[in-house]
Structure 1
């Protein structure tokens, strides 16, 4: 028998080298997603975006769904049904069950789901985790829903999306607000107003009270107190103006310059 070879310790990561070490599928997908969102912001059709990026329209839709900004009844129904099955089943089984339940093909179901191996940005994803384009588009859609149907649910969605965004009070003072999370990881329904050095809390019940005092969405509200004798109403007034829930007298608009309704 020959001599026993000396054992060489395996070096971590020392396996077969990648044929294309510079290739990063995740990075490429993210870049595609951001390009798709940018074109979608211009209100272009899926086919138009697909032609510009040399992609299939179905992939364009899937990228927009992954970015969290594409909305349609069937997309929401597929996602909701899939999520229910996914709680107790594997990804593959959840897809098959969804297809069977909705009488769709497996390919149709997956085309309405976000990319499994990519960063998915659901509606609850914090704004710092999404691209600027996706964030702006998400705000636009949420504000549009709120103006059409000013419910507590729609208002909460918009309030979450505008956390950290610079706003202005009736007198023109800049402020931002944040919404903190409790020990259970869920958002507390309390807004913390940060203006200069001190932070003040604003109860969600106060915001809802002001919402209920709006007689007509988009109507002129002369001053904050017209929304009610509510603690922190001057901040609520600035928020509601930015959300398009109210308008303000022409004489005040100059003070609000720089805090317009761009999304």
Structure 2
């Protein structure tokens, strides 16, 4: 079977697969005003690691969505084991099953890049309240690369597009965000302890092909370490 990179993450049940993992997530969230009255949507929740932390740390109202049913099932298992009341849905970022102006914060950790950006960002903007904000960690193209190199990256990750920082800024502003603050993520600066390591919720059967995909991912990241980077976008 030919698995995609995202299917691989789902079957391994990787929590905190995004750059910086849970440690970076905590740092980003600590800079926001979040309390029990905050309504928050996590777009692309994975196994629910971030949502569980949010519920336990801040006690806010959380909805989560992912287009992969395996991920949602594993997130629901996590929430149930921790007795957390978090609504988890299988859904599409380009057609969010939520009303207009409903959330204070939308959070996306390496998710929007895997979608049609031009359709997803306006949809997230739609469900945010008038003064709501989007927090996003996303892949950026740091320098011009050959068409062959770009095709290899896009084909492996199934990215519909690969944006530079300026192209991201344009997409956020075109969707109606008035202010976009950008922080460059510098990998390898944090001391990752056991508490912040990626966690796994393995499926019963793990095909050898999945290990090959993880290996390929590491190879691509290493080969393109100067060409691919990550940014933290705060859009309001």
- Of structures 1 and 2, the one with the larger relative CO (CA 8 A, separation 6+) is 2
Structure whose residues are more often helix by fraction: 1
Question: How high is the TM-score relative to the length of structure 1?
Answer: 0.22
Question: How high is the TM-score relative to the length of structure 2?
Answer: 0.24
